[in-house]
Amino acid sequence: MTARLLQGSDAVARSAIEAGCRFFAGYPMLPFTDLLESMARLMPAVDGVCMNAESEIEAVNMALGAGAAGARAATGSCGQGIALMQEAIAEAALNEVPFVVFNMARGQQDYFQATRGGGWGDYRTLCLAPKDVSEAVEHTQLLFHLADRYRAPVMMYGDYLISHTYMSVEVERRDYGPRPAKDWALDGRRGGTGRSRQIWTWAMGKANDPGPGPDRHWQRIAEKFDDMGRVESRWEAERCDDAETVVVSFGTAAAFVEQVVAELREDGLRVGAFRPVSLWPFPEAALAEACASASQVLVFEVNAGQMIDDVRLSIGRRIPVRPLGRVSIDFSGMRQGEILTVPWIRDRVRAAVKEVAVK
Amino acid sequence: MTDGGRKKVASALAPLQLSGEHHLCPGCGHPVAWRLLLEVIAELQLAGRAIGVVGHGCYTNIVQLADIDFLQCLHGRAPAVATGVKRVQPEAAVFTLQGDGDVASEGLAEVLHAAARGERITTIMLNNGVFGDTGGQMTAASVIGQRTKTSLDGRDAETHGYPVPVADLVASLAGSAYVARGSVNHAGSIAQTKRYMKRAFELAVGGVGFTFVEVLTMCPTGWFLPTADGPGYLDGTFEQTYPLGVLKDCR
């Protein structure tokens, strides 16, 4: 297969279909809208379903239904729309229905929303934040794999730069081994045999085959999320080995930070970049290790300071952890504002490095 | 069924019923509606392809008691969830079982949009005009004058607004193929309601469109009435607001 110039949303849609996604439901909201449009255009050719749902609440519940019936299903939105979906994302985490949520966020202001969730109960949402379209294509297929593997809803944290940027990418099927059997999915076929199935957050089971009930069921799910936390964290560390200053950033902002680090290294500054690829699980141990030789950590995020909490939890009080970004959004309310440029970041990283050197 | 020449009217358990024990109150109408639902599924030979999507209410317990596939979902969202199920399992007989709190209050948008889209599913709405599971509060379907814990002097249109006739709304949409309203407070209306359910399943499974059966059921506990007064109260109050019969039949 050869690379093609594709818009990010279109590339993600094609990758989802390669991953076997055959059900998609969404409600228009920029910058997520283009993904919905691509799905509406591409799904019929593979006998898949794309629903232009009547609300985000309907969209996510449709995806939950399709996932419960065994399909690889997905939905998506951003900001307020993801807020409306949180109830069902939590429900799916607790009744173990896999699907993928494409959160094409309006900038980076929804880190808390993605990683803490606003649903109910003891649950987590695995969340990957690609830095560009090419990685989004890869993450799309990985997310379907992880959703099935853990029987849980999972999320991509994309943004305007993922959904609207054109990039030359190869969209081909990635092999994650045989798909797990969905012997839990509902198809109706066991009705009347004494072995009919049930998907229920309370897991009470049937009168002839009682389930564990909420206490044991939710404890097991908590243990599952603990396991995921241990093994599913992903990250990228660039030139951190000898770095005195490590700059932490996520998603598309990290591509700018990478460039800044490359330029400052040419100037002889010992700067490194660390990027959590998974926002949950946050790569705490890897970040602590990457900062072993550092005397300060800078957190560049295009918001008032959200991921910095996770960085501080990872680093502790050993060295200073300082915010570098701020709220910065353009007039449309959906694109990153003026601070997301290499010069803006470079000047501030340089100043912070010098400040530490003076001390 | 025969036993030594004597004919049994009905066995204690409905077809597909796994247990005769339930947590519902004496005088509750839900078990009657459950029985009709299971009898219809069995008689139409749909047990091996039925998937029930169940909302939140006293009736939720059916997911433990009936031997068919069930997905218990969020309050009000069953028609959206059932849409996802049906679209990827087109051969399945997909239905939702919900109460009036689930449909008329929390999930009015979901049921109307599923009807408008003509989803090939059946929604059974058990309407007792009260949140029974939470102890007797007013729903959007509570009738004028009905005393609940949140309308202590009776539902008053000036203060609480008017009840929502969901079946009428569903019938007004082009995507609905069949809409009927029955009750389970008399032998005659029980038999009639079963016929409504049967037709509703046949048309939805046959791919004709969205079908909807509202079933008026007794809740003497939530109505704060002596158990035996439930059926009569239904006649005297609910059936004034919600007249029984077929509201729409596509054929």
Interface of A with B in 167-196 (CB under 8 A): 186-194, 196
The closest CB to that of B88, out of A66, A200, A204, belongs to: A66
Report d(CA B127, CA B122) in Å as an integer.
16
Residue B145 carries which DSSP code?
T
Q: Residue B251 has what pLDDT?
A: 54
Residue B71 contacts A, CB cutoff 8 Å: yes
Residue A49 contacts B, CB cutoff 8 Å: yes
Residue located via tokens 């079963």: B194
Q: Do A65 and B71 touch (CB under 8 A)?
A: yes
Residue A118 carries which DSSP code?
S
Q: What are B151's strand-pairing partners?
A: B148
Query: What 3-state class would DSSP assign to B97?
Result: strand
Phi-psi region of A172 (alpha: psi -120 to 50; beta: other; left: phi over 0): beta
Domain A4-169 matches domain A235-358 at the CATH topology level = yes
Q: Residue A334 has what pLDDT?
A: 80
Dihedral pair phi/psi, residue B182, rounded to 5°? -125, -175
Question: Which run of H or E residues covers position B85?
Answer: helix B78-88
Report d(CA A100, CA A102) in Å as an integer.
6
Q: Residue B2 has what pLDDT?
A: 47
Q: Where are the domains of chain B?
A: 24-249
Q: Which residues in chain B are contacts of A61 at CB distance < 8 A?
A: 73-74, 77, 80-81, 84, 110
Q: Residue A299 has what pLDDT?
A: 98
Q: Which residues in chain B are contacts of A55 at CB distance < 8 A?
A: 109
Q: Which residues lie closer than 8 Å to A178 by C-beta, 6 or more apart?
A: none
CATH code for the structural domain at A235-358 = 3.40.50.920
Identify the CATH assignment for B24-249 out of 3.40.1360.10, 3.40.640.10, 3.30.360.10, 3.40.50.970: 3.40.50.970
Question: Which run of H or E residues covers position B3?
Answer: strand B2-3
The closest CB to that of A191, out of B50, B74, B81, belongs to: B50
pTM of the predicted protein model: 0.96
Q: Do A188 and B81 touch (CB under 8 A)?
A: no
Choose among B216, B214, B213, B221: nearest CA to B238: B216
Write the DSSP string, A34-91: HHHHHHHHHGGGGT-EEEE-SSHHHHHHHHHHHHHTT-EEEEEE-HHHHHHHHHHHHH
Q: Report, as ranges of residue numbers, the positions in chain B whose pLDDT lies below 70.
A: 1-11, 251
Distance from CA of A90 to the nearest CA of B (A): 10
pLDDT tens across the length of chain A (359 residues): 689 999 999 999 999 999 999 999 999 999 999 999 999 999 999 999 999 999 999 999 999 999 999 999 999 999 999 999 999 999 999 999 999 999 999 999 999 999 998 899 999 999 999 999 999 999 999 999 999 999 999 999 999 999 999 999 999 999 999 999 999 999 999 999 999 999 999 999 999 999 999 999 999 999 999 999 999 999 999 999 999 999 999 999 999 999 999 999 999 999 999 999 999 999 999 999 999 999 999 999 999 999 999 999 999 989 999 999 999 988 888 888 889 999 999 999 999 998 887 66
Q: Residue B12 has what pLDDT?
A: 83
Q: Where are the domains of chain A?
A: 4-169, 235-358
The class (CATH top level) of A4-169 is: alpha beta
Q: Do A62 and B89 touch (CB under 8 A)?
A: no
